[in-house]
Amino acid sequence: MKAAAIIGGGVIGGGWAARFLLNGWDVRVFDPDPDAERKIGEVMANARRSLPGLSDAPLPEEGRLSFHAEMADAVAGAIWIQESVPERLEIKHKVFAELQAACHPDAIIGSSTSGFKPSELQAGAARPAQIVVTHPFNPVYLLPLIELVTTSANDAAQVARASEQLTELGMYPMHVKKEIDAHIADRFLEAVWREALWLVKDGIATTEEIDEAIRMGFGIRWAQMGLFETYRVAGGEAGMKHFMAQFGPALKWPWTKLTDVPEFTDELVDLIADQSDAQSGAHSIRELERIRDNNLVAMMRALKGQDWGAGALLNKQDTRLRDGSPLTGGVDEIGDLSQPILTVARAVPLDWTDYNGHMNEAKYLEAFAAATDRFMELIGCDAGYIASGGSYFTAETHIRHLAEVHAGARIAIRTRMLVGEGKKLHLFHSMYEGDELLATGESFMLHVDLKTRRPSPPSREIEAAMDQIRSAQADLPYPDGAGMAIRQPG
C-alpha cells in the first residue's frame, strides 16, 4: 500500500488527505492543531459524499488514515509528502529541513504554495531536487488541476514520477517548466480579482452582480473550453487571426484598470494563431460549436439538478413555461378526459443521447417517470399530499422501444389510466413525435402510507379523481401492447 504524508491539515491539506485516501493510499497526517483530526474528519466526510460520484468505475479500497504527533513519524515510509503549511517562506524552509532530516531521500516533497517559486523553496535545502511545487485548487479532492512547477534541479525522471503519481490520483498535472510568481492559474484569478475590486470600489457593480456575470456567462464557457479555444470559436470560420484582428485593438482602450498589456504585434498574432491551430485545428468551427453546445447543455442541466446558478435560472424559466400549459392543474382543469391525457411535452436534450446517437434507454424511463409524476399530481397526489404522508410506489414497469429518438426531438407523452381504484394505479404511457409512436411505458403502482411504508388506500379526493377519469375513458379500446411480456420477433 502506498503511503502519503500530509504536513498541515487545513482546508488544502485536508483536501489532499481525502484525495490520497479515497484513491487507496495510506495517509499519515502531521498538524500541531489540536482540532486537526476533527477538521480533517469533516473534510473527509464531504469528500466521501462527493468524490466517488465522479467515477463510474469501482474505486480502490480506502486507505488507512492516521495522525502523528511528530513530523518524523508522519513521513516514515511515505513516498509522497505534501506540504500545506502557511504561506511564509521561513516556515516552509524550517519544515523542509525537518522533513529532509527524517524522510526517505527518494520521496517526492510537493508544496501546495500558491505564490512561491520552487527555486525559493529549494534555497538552502539539503536536497533541492527533492522539492517541487504541486499547487492544487480547492476542493483538492474534486478539482483536477495541479500546477507542477519545477527548476533545473529537478531531473526529468523525478518530474515524470511526480506526474505519474498525480495522474493515478485522477488529477491533471500541468508541468510549468518556467517558474514565475503565482504560477499560471492564480495569475488569471488575481487579474480578475483586481478588476472586481475596482468595479466594487467605483460603484459600478456589487459583489453579487460580479459573481452573476461570471457564473451566468463566461465562467460556464471557460469551464469547458478555456480562454483561447473559446475565442477561436468566437472568430467564426475566419479563425483566431480574425478574432484577434477584430478585438485585439481593444487592448489599448481604457476598458480595464490593468493597462500594462503586451504590444499587439504581427509576431504575437502569429504565435497565438499557430498555437491555437495546433490546439484546436483538428476540428472545424462548426464541430467546435457542437462540442461547446454539448458541454454547456450538460453543465447547465447539472446545475438545474442543484437549483443553483444558471441552473436555478433555467428552473424558473421552466416554471414560467409550464404556467398556463396543459401540464399544470388538477383533473377538473383538463378539458377532455375521454382521451389519453397529455402528461409530458418537451424536447430531448443533448445529454439524453448515447453512443448510438439516439436516446439512452434509461432516459425513456426518466421520461415515463415524469409522465407518472404528472398524472399523480393530476389526481391530487402532489407535493403537499406526499408531505402529508401518502404516495404511490412503482411495483413494475415495462417499456417498448418502437422507433429511434434523437436529440432535439419534440416529444409528447399521453397517458391512459387502465386501473385506478383502491390501492392500485395502472398507467399506460405512449410517447410520440408528431403522429409517430416512439415508445410505450406501462407502470403498475401501489398507494402507500409513507410512515409504515406499506400499501394503504388513497384519500377520498384521489379516489374521486380516478373515478372521474375511469368513467370518461371507459369506451377507449384497450391499448395495443398493454400487459405484454417481452417477446422475441419471429
- All three cell numbers of 481: 401492447
Tell me: is residue 10 an annotated ligand-binding position. Answer: yes
State residue 252's pLDDT score: 66
| SS percent in the chain: helix, strand, coil, step 5 | 45, 20, 35
12 belongs to an annotated ligand binding site: yes
Of 44-53, 219-228, 402-411, 442-451, minimum mean pLDDT range:
219-228
Domains 3-176 and 327-472 in one fold: no
Q: Which helix (H) or strand (E) holds 412?
A: strand 410-421
Fold designation for 3-176: Rossmann fold (3.40.50)
8 annotated as belonging to a binding site for a ligand:
yes
What is residue 271's predicted lDDT score, i.e. its pLDDT? Answer: 84
Every domain of the chain and the residues it spans: 3-176, 186-291, 327-472
What CA–CA distance (Å, rounded) separates 449 from 431? 31
**C-alpha pair distances (Å), 435 with each of 97, 157, 358:** 76, 64, 19
Quick check: 255 pLDDT over 70?
no
pLDDT higher than threshold 70 for residue 490: no
Mean pLDDT over each residue of the chain, to the nearest integer: 90
Helices (H), 179-309: 185-201, 207-213, 219-225, 228-234, 239-247, 266-280, 285-306
Residue 257's pLDDT is what?
66
Is 53 labelled a binding residue? Answer: no
Supply the pLDDT for residue 442. Answer: 97
Percent of the chain past pLDDT 90, that is, above it, reads 63
Q: What is the CATH number of domain 327-472?
A: 3.10.129.10
Cα–Cα dist 201/287, whole Å: 42
Residue 9 annotated as part of some ligand binding site: yes
Q: 488 pLDDT band (50/70/90 cuts)?
A: low
Q: If you count them, how many residues does the chain have? A: 490
Specify the pLDDT at position 247.
Answer: 64
CB-facing half-sphere around the CA of 146: CA atoms within 13 A = 29
Q: Give the residue from 221, 238, 215 showing the smallest Cα distance to 292.
A: 221
The whole-model pTM stands at 0.76
133, 29, 143, 183 alpha-carbon torsion, rounded to 10°: -20
C-alpha cell at 477: 379500446
Phi and psi dihedrals of 354, rounded to 5? -120, -165
Count CB atoms within 10 A of the CB of residue 436.
11
Band (pLDDT 50/70/90 cuts) for residue 350 is: confident
Q: Is 490 annotated as a binding residue?
A: no
Higher pLDDT, 278 or 490: 278
